[in-house]
Chains A and B, each alone.
Chain A
Amino acid sequence: MIDEPVYDSARRPSPVVEELLEAARYRDLIVQFVRRDIVTRYKRSVLGVLWTMLSPLGMMVVLTIVFSQLFKTTEAYPVYLLSGLIVWTFFAQSTIAAMRYFIWGGSLIRRVYIPKTLFAISAVGAGLVNLLLSMVPLILVMLAIGYTPRMPVLFLPVSIALLAAFALGVGLLFSAIAAYFPDVVEMYEIALMAWMYLTPIFYPEEIIPESFSWWLFNLNPMFHLVRLFRAPIYFGVWPAPERLAAAAVAALGALVIGWIVFTRKADQFAYRI
């Protein structure tokens, strides 16, 4: 009875820190949310989890048919394409889901207290599960065309972790805005489309004219993150330190900014959404 928790609205740590502690305390709820996302997505479909693996494969087949002649010089085009596509799909899915979960969660956070970052964290968590599942077709395609992975694939967990950090940061930032203006979700989806075309997902980096490429690539965090994922698996090399540094700065910077902006506004959300 002595350890009873005491809630005192006047005495609290900084919201940035408080949210971190609370999110850790509610970690079981994150697991529940991720589980619910995965289970409800597949529960009433015949193919179930197979969808996650089939949809990038289908996309790959179509794009390979369309573009492999155009990008003849790109060696093992399906692997190049698929490795970029997986990264992009993860990023797009998790950030959009972060906003949608959060708006959906509006009815919850008006009823019970829960740490509000949980929605974005769970969205990224569900995205990670899907990302790992879609690694299966990538590996199958690699084996099918006789493309053997080399040692640097061991670097992939770091690439994925930075990618997840970036997605979480962006998801939190836009969720904070979406709390005030729900139409931001639609705008973001449109912007995402343009962003994808500006990132070398299905075309080789070389086709961008040199006068643009420096700006386009260095100012685009997703360029670095796609690169960081592709280097070990497609090029079979360890990422260069300066490229790793660029990706890490972009990812951790986005996470810190997103977290601070979101948590400082978090008290308002129960009033707004």
Chain B
Amino acid sequence: MHTASEPHPAPGREGECQTSIRLEQVSVRYRVAHERISSLKEYAVRALQRRVNYSDLWALNKVDLEVRRGEVFGIVGRNGAGKSTLLKVVARVLRPMGGRVWVRGHVAPLLELGAAFHPELTGRENVFLSGTLLGFSRREMAGKFQRIVDFAELGDFIDAPLRTYSSGMTMRLGFAVATDAKPDVLIIDEILAVGDEAFQRKCTARIEEFRRQGATILLVTHNRQLTQSLCQRAMWLDHGTVRAIGPAAEVAAAYCEATNAG
């Protein structure tokens, strides 16, 4: 598993060191107002009339999960099953309302590429902006810059404003920024469909490389093939609760069967 450049964790702490992500009884509740109240005036009126109705939606309900370092872990389930919420809880975007989330190392969320891009800024300016948004310093970004441009295959376009880019170029740049350095935990939400086929191969190769270097990968996808070929283990989420957890092939098969039957 380990390459020469990656020494074994200190002995004695072996068990602790092998855990990359741990969720204990994690719960997330969305509060859905029956009528969308988006103004203070409206709220004041309704509150006076005691007509503010909520219903609770448990996006995650007491989920337990332990992912080891270097594991590629798949999450399957229908839309609204809580898959994205689970990724957000790990990425520290949402703080769970109950339970405990424990994550070791730098997390790179590939939730939506180029979320912070600004059309008026040049590619170069956007690279620095998104990099610092992911928690890197300006100095670190200066060191990564050329590699990012090369990987995104943008060449001279890097100094043109982003509004002149094609959507493929924007996505390439987004992927290149987010995955330049090996993260300890990589979170992927359905985005393996970036750019043309050649670039997709590059993306897959890069993810494969991270995996070899020991990064932990959380992968949400509807593609059964992908779950079985990339992941070692998987989890099936249904209405915020764990339906099954185990070897990827078995979980994917059980999920497929249930979906086709129902």
Among candidates B41, B116, B121, B134, residue contacting A183 with C-beta atoms closer than 8 Å: B41
Could you tell me the distance between the alpha carbons of A110 and B184 in the complex, rounded to whole angstroms?
21
Q: Cβ of A108: which chain B residues have Cβ within 8 Å of it?
A: 115-116, 133
Q: Cβ of A6: which chain B residues have Cβ within 8 Å of it?
A: 102-105
Q: Cβ of A209: which chain B residues have Cβ within 8 Å of it?
A: none
* Contact code string A30-54 (vs B, CB < 8 Å = 1, else 0): 0111011001100110000000000
A256 located at the interface, meaning its Cβ lies under 8 Å from any Cβ of chain B in the complex:
no
CB distance from B141 to the nearest CB of A (A): 8
* Contact code string B123-142 (vs A, CB < 8 Å = 1, else 0): 00100110011111110000
Q: Is the CB of B132 within 8 A of A26?
A: yes
Q: Is the CB of A39 within 8 A of B103?
A: no
Among candidates B7, B43, B93, B129, residue contacting A113 with C-beta atoms closer than 8 Å: B93
Q: Cβ of A40: which chain B residues have Cβ within 8 Å of it?
A: 118, 120-121
Q: Cβ of A110: which chain B residues have Cβ within 8 Å of it?
A: 88, 93
B interface SS class: loop
How many of chain A's residues have a CB under 8 angstroms from any CB in B? 40
Nearest residue in B to A30 (C-beta to C-beta)?
B132
Q: Is the CB of B106 within 8 A of A111?
A: no
Report the interface size class on chain B: 35 or more
* Contact code string A79-114 (vs B, CB < 8 Å = 1, else 0): 000000000000000000000000000011111111
CB distance from B69 to the nearest CB of A (A): 10
Among candidates A1, A7, A28, A181, residue contacting B103 with C-beta atoms closer than 8 Å: A7
Per the 8 Å Cβ criterion, residues 62-83 of B in contact with A are: none
Q: Is the CB of A36 within 8 A of B133?
A: no
Q: Is the CB of B128 within 8 A of A32?
A: yes
Q: Is the CB of B133 within 8 A of A183?
A: no
Among candidates B9, B94, B104, residue contacting A271 with C-beta atoms closer than 8 Å: B94
Enumerate chain B interface residues (CB-CB to A < 8 A): 7, 9-10, 30-31, 38-41, 43, 88, 91-96, 99-107, 109, 111-112, 115-116, 118, 120-121, 125, 128-129, 132-138, 184
